[in-house]
């Protein structure tokens, strides 16, 4: 008979007895038997003592039969026996159920411990440990029912803390990947033998930590990761220290370059502050305070960026005034409006440069002013009266031919084009370059207004001179080949 049916039967019989049943039903004994059987089942008597549990159920069924047959005394006797068998099952099963729950709780707790729950879920971990300890205390005091209840709490608490620790496992795996990346980056750097050994040992520990994480042993993995982290940080700080000194040296060079670019005139206080900050950074490095030194270096970099911006802005404003003055002078000189278009173009460029200043694009504004300056220079050169007509050449006091570089936005002057103008042979440009090396630092970079000496083309040797020369030099024909190439 099912438990539900039995309860219904007892309720019916109880009602009948109150209505004036023919017999006195042993309701109290039967309810006690039923309750005791349920307790036996709670402590897993069907597993640990099925014999007594089955007898208890059998006697309770008999008691029900006796009630139906109006045998009240027999019903009472069977109900009492059922309760006794159930109690016997409890006495055997209860200690075993406590031990089973305690073992399960401890297993879950140990798994949580391996997952480093003490770090990841410290409060839950402590609660699980307390439940296990209390269960053991109650058991030792033979307070088994309370021990059983607490053991179930211990199982639940240990299971929850294990799940909490498992949830943090991906985070630990991600941290491990980041550390391995650091190791890879450090290995790519130039390290001392000792530093290489430290990094190799750290790499081995991280590999082992990865294996342990795969086994859900986060506690040992975390311990190895901490050890590896110490080595990684030691080498990293040493590398950063060297890098920091290199950065300081580089920043000092930039400061000196800024001074040469007249930075002191526009950002003198900033430059002084940069120098002071770099001095502080060096002092911190001497004190092995690398992290603080790096912060100072970062501060110096920001100060330098500000100083450069102030300097560039100052130079841009200065250039604007200079080129505006040139524009004004060009307008005054161009009384016949021969260069009105060019002057207007220069004016537009200057306006664009001013707009760039307003938008904070100082470097671009300087480039725009220089473009206008070059155009105005070319106008000045073009208006000189001493220029020759076709070849753009003059003769100086020593009788040497001089060429003045002109500005043409669409077809800029270069040594190659100048050679074409004066020699009718562009490949002879090296003659001009060699003759004017003092003012031509880069053959690809010449400026409007420069004056270049145009040397004469060397005369070629006649055949008789060539034969004599061949005899003297052993027949070297290099010059002849060059002349022939030039002729072509």
Which among 51, 11, 53, 60 is positioned nearest to 32, based on CA atoms? 60
Distance in angstroms (rounded) separating the CA atoms of residues 328 and 324: 6
Distance in angstroms (rounded) separating the CA atoms of residues 125 and 410: 80
Task: Tally DSSP H helices, then E strands, for the chain.
Answer: 19, 3
Over residues 335-381, the pLDDT tens digits come to: 888 888 889 999 999 999 999 999 999 999 999 999 998 888 877 65
CA 267 to chain centre: 34
Whether 396 and 404 have beta carbons less than 8 Å apart is answered as no
Cβ contacts of 54 within 8 Å, gap of 6 or more: none
The pLDDT of residue 488: 30
Which among 212, 209, 202 is positioned nearest to 233, based on CA atoms? 202
The pLDDT of residue 460: 61
Exposed / middle / buried, residue 324 (Cβ in 10 Å: 0-12, 13-18, 19+): middle
Give the chain's end-to-end CA distance (angstroms, integer): 123
Distance in angstroms (rounded) separating the CA atoms of residues 124 and 103: 18
Distance in angstroms (rounded) separating the CA atoms of residues 205 and 227: 8
**Weakly modelled stretches of the chain, pLDDT under 50:** 1-21, 384-392, 464-467, 469-488
Distance in angstroms (rounded) separating the CA atoms of residues 308 and 259: 10
Over residues 141-179, the pLDDT tens digits come to: 999 999 999 999 999 999 999 999 999 999 999 999 999
């Amino acid at each position: 008979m099912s438990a539900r049916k039995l309860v219904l039967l007892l309720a019916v019989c109880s009602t009948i007895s109150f209505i004036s049943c023919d017999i006195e039903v042993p309701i109290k004994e039967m309810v006690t038997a039923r309750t005791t059987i349920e307790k036996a089942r709670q402590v897993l008597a069907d597993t640990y003592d099925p014999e007594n549990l089955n007898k208890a159920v059998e006697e309770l069924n008999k008691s029900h039969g006796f009630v139906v047959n109006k045998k009240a005394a027999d019903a009472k006797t069977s109900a009492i026996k059922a309760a006794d068998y159930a109690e016997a099952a409890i006495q055997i099963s209860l200690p075993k159920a406590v031990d089973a729950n305690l073992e399960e709780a401890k297993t879950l707790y140990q798994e949580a411990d391996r997952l480093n729950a003490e770090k990841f879920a410290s409060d839950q971990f402590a609660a699980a440990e307390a439940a296990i300890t209390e269960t053991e205390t109650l058991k030792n005091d033979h307070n088994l029912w309370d021990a059983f209840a607490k053991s179930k709490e211990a199982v639940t608490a240990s299971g929850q803390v294990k799940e909490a620790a498992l949830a943090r496992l991906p985070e630990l795996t991600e941290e491990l990947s980041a550390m391995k990346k650091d190791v890879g980056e450090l290995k790519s750097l130039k390290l001392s033998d000792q530093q290489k050994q430290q990094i190799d040992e750290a790499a081995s520990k991280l590999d082992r930590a990865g294996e342990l994480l795969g086994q859900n042993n986060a506690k040992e993995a975390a311990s190895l990761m901490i050890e590896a982290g110490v080595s990684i940080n030691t080498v990293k700080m040493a590398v950063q220290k060297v890098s920091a000194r290199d950065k300081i040296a580089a920043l000092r060079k930039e400061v000196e370059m800024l001074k040469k670019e007249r930075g002191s005139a526009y950002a003198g206080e900033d430059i002084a502050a940069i120098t002071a900050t770099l001095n502080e950074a060096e002092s911190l490095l001497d004190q092995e305070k690398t992290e603080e030194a790096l912060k100072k270096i970062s501060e110096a970099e920001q100060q330098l960026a500000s100083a450069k911006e102030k300097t560039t802005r100052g130079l841009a404003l200065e250039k604007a005034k200079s080129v505006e003055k040139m524009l004004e002078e060009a307008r005054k000189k161009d009384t016949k409006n021969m260069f009105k278009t060019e002057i207007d173009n220069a004016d537009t460029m200057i306006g664009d440069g001013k707009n760039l200043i307003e938008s904070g694009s100082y470097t671009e504004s300087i480039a725009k002013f220089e473009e206008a300056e070059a155009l105005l220079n070319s106008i000045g050169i073009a208006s000189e009266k001493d220029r020759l007509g076709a070849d753009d050449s003059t003769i100086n006091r020593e009788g040497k031919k001089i060429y003045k570089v002109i500005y043409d936005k669409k077809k800029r002057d270069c040594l190659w084009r100048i050679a074409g103008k004066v020699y009718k042979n562009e490949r002879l440009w090296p003659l001009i370059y060699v003759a004017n090396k003092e003012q031509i630092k880069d053959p690809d970079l010449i400026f409007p207004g420069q004056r270049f000496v145009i040397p004469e083309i060397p005369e070629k040797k006649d055949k008789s001179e060539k034969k004599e020369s061949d005899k003297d030099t052993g027949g070297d024909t290099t010059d002849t080949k060059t002349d022939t190439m030039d002729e072509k």
